[in-house]
Amino acid sequence: MEIILNGQAKQIADPYTVGQLVSELFSANGKGIAVAINQSVVPKSDWPIRQLSPNDQITLITATQGG
């Protein structure tokens, strides 16, 4: 299925969870990462069970340090 990840089309398997997507993209355990689907924030506790749907608009934001 196709999702929109940070404005870019991406093909993923079906079914697929937020947790799987974060694990695929980041080697860390999700620390410092925020996820929104269709402009609604998804709590980290929901990542393992939140299924993605075709054409979901997903925004991933990573925290950075600096001043």
Q: What does the DSSP assignment read for the chain? A: -EEEETTEEEE--SS-BHHHHHHHH-SSSSTTEEEEETTEE--GGGTTT-B--TT-EEEEEE-----
Q: What is the predicted pLDDT for the residue at 26?
A: 85
Q: What is the predicted pLDDT for the residue at 61?
A: 93
CB 18 within 8 A of CB 50: yes
In the structure encoding, which two tokens stand for residue 13, read together? 């398997």
In the structure encoding, which two tokens stand for residue 6, read together? 């940070």
Q: Fill in the DSSP letter of residue 6.
A: T
Structure confidence by residue, pLDDT tens digits, 6-61: 999 999 999 999 999 999 998 767 789 999 999 999 999 999 999 999 999 999 99
Q: What is the predicted pLDDT for the residue at 30?
A: 77
